[in-house]
């Protein structure tokens, strides 16, 4: 992938981002502990159709933590992203988010700062954060720190990658090396990991009826992180939400099937193709 000559930082030194391509703007928001690099498998294909802005959320990647006095809940992170949109002169771009970034995308919808919203396995669709997820995220963080300390180039073998990514991937033994290594590194070093995880665990997404933008939610058929009946509740989503299942994918859909994710995101952003994704929830 051809990357820009240097990473970009917003004029207020708040959020780092990369920008690729041309067309209608599409903002990409990563999941908990990751960075904008988690979108690398789909950036090239998306940038053939859109002006793509991949953002590091506060305390992740190259973005500093939230300033003193500003929270780290998804609604707080959405305000930070909205400020970046103002700096870039973007009123209501297409917004895509993965996991906790999907929750941030929904919060941007509540702020009326998105023309469409696509959530890949979004967090927050629960009554309370599932205990297994609380434990798993902390264990992933510990494991990533150990790997980075003891074997910085791991997981190099397909077998080790597969075993290490079993809980998160629907196709763990097919995952490419570089994206997995990048995710492990990002998870190990994200300075805002703790406060953002505690903040999202203490609440849930609500008041989705205020969202007027088109909403598409997609979960992988093999997602063992956001479990059905526990973390995929639909009651707080707007009635016009379209709900999609991605066959064979786990929680990390953009690694499990990048081509299918690209097709989904392009269709969700296109009013002429959106109806192909199914009928609204209600």
Q: Is residue 1 part of a domain?
A: no
Q: Is 215 exposed, middle or buried (0-12, 13-18, 19+ CB in 10 A)?
A: buried
Q: Is residue 159 part of a domain?
A: yes
pLDDT at 7: 55
Looking at the 3D structure of the chain, how many domains does it have? 1
Q: Is residue 17 part of a domain?
A: yes
Furthest-apart CA atoms within the chain: distance in Å = 51
Q: Is residue 282 part of a domain?
A: no
Structural domain containing residue 28: 8-277
Q: Are 171 and 256 in contact (CB under 8 A)?
A: yes
pLDDT at 72: 96
Q: Is residue 116 part of a domain?
A: yes
Q: Is residue 3 part of a domain?
A: no
pLDDT at 11: 42
pLDDT at 25: 98
CA–CA separation, 224 vs 185, rounded Å? 22
Q: What is the CATH number of the domain that holds 267?
A: 3.40.50.1820
pLDDT at 137: 93
- Contacts of residue 96, defined as CB under 8 A and 6 or more positions apart, other chains included, come to 26, 27, 28, 29, 105, 117, 118, 119, 120, 265
Q: Report mean pLDDT in 10-residue bins for the chain, 282 residues.
A: 49 81 98 97 98 98 94 97 97 98 98 98 96 91 88 82 86 92 94 96 95 98 95 96 97 97 98 92 82
pLDDT at 13: 61
Q: Are 218 and 265 in contact (CB under 8 A)?
A: no
Q: Which two tokens stand for residue 264?
A: 């989904």
Total-model pTM: 0.94
pLDDT at 9: 54
Q: Is residue 84 part of a domain?
A: yes
Q: Is residue 86 part of a domain?
A: yes
């Amino acid at each position: 992938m051809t990357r820009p000559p240097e990473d970009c930082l917003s004029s207020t030194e708040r959020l780092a981002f990369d920008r690729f391509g041309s067309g209608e703007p599409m903002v990409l928001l990563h999941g908990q502990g990751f960075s904008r690099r988690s979108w690398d498998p789909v950036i090239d294909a998306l940038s053939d159709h859109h002006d793509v802005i991949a953002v590091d959320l506060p305390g992740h990647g190259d973005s500093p933590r939230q300033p003193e006095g500003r929270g780290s809940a998804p609604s707080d992170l959405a305000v930070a992203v909205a400020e970046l949109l103002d700096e870039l002169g973007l009123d209501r771009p297409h917004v895509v988010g993965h996991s906790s970034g999907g929750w941030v995308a929904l919060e941007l919808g509540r702020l009326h700062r998105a023309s469409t919203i696509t959530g890949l396995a979004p967090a927050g669709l629960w009554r309370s954060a599932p205990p297994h997820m609380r434990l798993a995220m902390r264990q992933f963080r510990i494991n990533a720190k150990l790997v980075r300390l003891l074997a910085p180039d791991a997981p190099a073998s397909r077998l080790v990658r597969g075993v290490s990514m079993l809980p998160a991937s629907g196709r763990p033994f097919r995952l490419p090396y570089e994206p997995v290594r990048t995710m492990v590194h990002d998870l190990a070093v994200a300075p805002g990991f703790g406060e953002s995880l505690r903040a999202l665990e203490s609440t849930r997404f609500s008041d989705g009826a205020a969202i007027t933008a088109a909403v598409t939610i997609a979960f992988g058929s093999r997602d063992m992180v956001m479990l059905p009946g526990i973390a995929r509740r639909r009651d707080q989503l707007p009635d016009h939400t379209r709900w999609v299942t991605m066959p064979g994918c786990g929680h990390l859909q953009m690694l499990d099937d990048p081509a299918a994710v690209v097709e989904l995101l392009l269709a969700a952003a296109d009013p002429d193709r959106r109806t192909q994704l199914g009928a609204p929830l209600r």
